[in-house]
Amino acid sequence: MRLETNLIVSVWSNTEKELRANSQEPPTLLLDINKAFPLPYTLPMSTSPVISVQALRKSYADLEAVKGIDFEVSAGEVFGILGPNGAGKTTTVEILEGLRPRTGGNAMVLGFDPERQKQQLKDRIGVCLQATNLPAKIRTHEAIDLFGSFYSRSLTSEQLLKRLQLWDKRDSFYETLSGGQKQRLAIALGLVNDPQLLFLDEPTTGLDPQIRLEIHGLIEELKSEKRTVVLTTHYIEEAERLCDRVAIMDEGRIVAMGSPRELQQKSRGQSRIQIVCEQPLNAIQLPQWPEAMDSKLEPDGRSLTVYSNRPARTLFEIMRWLDQQGIQLEDVHLKRPTLEDVFVELTGKKLRD
């Protein structure tokens, strides 16, 4: 082994000289050989999906809750599962977490089968369930220490409490925490093992808008750290703000999947451009702008609404036309189809139905 190590060092030394001669930086040294010498290359990142699901099904007696869905989640991605109550979101996530057996199909999470390799999987994932209820008299730091003892590795309660802005509540009983503090503690418990993959099931349901924004901030921090997050929600703005890709579920099926922008662009609905001018346009003949499907001038003569399939181009032409006419602009708004518009088109339902 020592001869092999010397050979590696010699090769690395020569490689480093060649790279520097060509104005290139040598690769980072990452891995130890017999705890003395590192390998002379950077290990490539795996391109395998963190989650892979094929034809996943789940039935309860005669009720088929998940009906043969397929999707993958890549490393570092925030993947949202969007849909109304009863769509199958939570059932799907619980199968992937190893909490519920599947009826059919295949699922792999971090290279493990969540049904057959539960213990190996649970040591590497974090989970924040829809509802977390702890004993009333357990103290905040005690809860984190307790959950940390379930894993082969864990962060300290001090690290997590400070990060989740709960340090001042470290000795408080669970029953004295506010709703937002309880939810931050639930997320801390999901992060206690420093997981590669975090599941957040409806993390902001029932919270007031200010607390929801705080939770959004925490999720954006996780996103900036390139952690993989699977988020279920029925809040449109949550999915649009936080998710790299979204799967829209309805009645156990995925009816659409893609980035929020991609899904919005697939909508048959048109974007709406609303313009308010300082001077009335009543006496002016309105042109037919490129890509505009319809135009409407309000009775006040100053407010113009234009519907377009390509709003950026149409808006540019409108602005140029107003400038040519010497008309001053007071206000402008562009409203694109939302994820909810897409959902209603696909299912005929509202997301909160």
User: 51-124+196-265 belongs to which CATH class?
Assistant: alpha beta
CA distances from residue 309 to 6, 272, 313, 344 in whole angstroms, order as listed: 66, 9, 9, 19
Q: Is residue 93 within 8 Å of 201, Cβ to Cβ?
A: yes
User: Model-level pTM greater than 0.85?
Assistant: no
Residue whose entry in the numeric block shows the structure tokens 């034809």: 55
Q: What percentage of the chain has pLDDT greater than the value 90?
A: 50
pLDDT of residue 282: 76
| Mean of per-residue pLDDT scores for the chain | 83
Domain ranges, ordered by start, for the chain:
2-38, 51-124+196-265, 271-336
CA–CA separation, 37 and 340 (whole Å): 56
Over residues 43-82, the pLDDT tens digits come to: 344 578 999 999 999 999 999 999 999 999 999 999 999 8
Q: What is the number of residues in the chain?
A: 353
Over residues 166-224, the pLDDT tens digits come to: 999 999 999 999 988 999 999 999 999 999 999 999 888 878 888 888 889 989 998 89
pLDDT of residue 46: 52
Q: Would you put residue 337 in left (φ > 0), alpha (ψ -120 to 50) or beta? A: beta
Average pLDDT over residues 319-342: 86
Looking only at the bridges linking them, the beta strands covering 104-109 and 51-60 are: antiparallel
Q: CB under 8 Å, gap of 24 or more: what pairs does 264-270 form?
A: 264/336, 264/337, 264/338, 264/339, 264/341, 264/342, 266/342, 267/337, 267/341, 267/342, 267/345, 268/345, 269/337, 269/341, 269/345, 270/307, 270/308, 270/309, 270/337
Instruction: Match domain 271-336 to its CATH number in 3.30.70.100, 3.40.50.720, 2.70.150.10, 2.60.120.620.
Output: 3.30.70.100
Which position has the higher pLDDT, 105 or 310?
A: 105
- Confidence class for position 24, pLDDT limits 50, 70, 90: very low
